[in-house]
Amino acid sequence: MLSVHCPRHAAEVLLSERRITRIAHEDDQLTLEWVCWCGYRGSHRTGRRAPRSTIV
C-alpha cells in the first residue's frame, strides 16, 4: 500500500500497488506514478534521501 496526497481529495489517500502506473529510479530515489481512485494522476518520490519536507 502507498500513502499519497491527492489534491482532488485534498487529503492523504491510501492506494494499492495496482494504482501505481510507473516506477522510475532517479538518483537514489524512487519516483512512483500513480492514479488515485478519483482518477487524478500524480507522482510520489520515495527513497532513503527523501526529506520529510518534500512537496508532493
Question: Is 38 a residue that touches Zn ion (CB under 5 A)?
Answer: yes
φ, ψ at 19 (rounded to 5°): -85, -10
Residues 6+ apart with CB under 8 A from 32: 2, 20, 22, 23, 43, 44, 45, 46
**Complex with Zn ion: residue 37 or 47, whichever CB lies closer:** 37
**Count of positions on this chain that bind Zn ion (CB under 5 A):** 6
Which cell numbers in the block locate residue 8? 482532488
Site for Zn ion in 1-20 (CB under 5 A): 6, 8-9
**Complex with Zn ion: residue 24 or 38, whichever CB lies closer:** 38
Q: Which residues bind Zn ion (CB under 5 A)?
A: 6, 8-9, 36, 38, 40
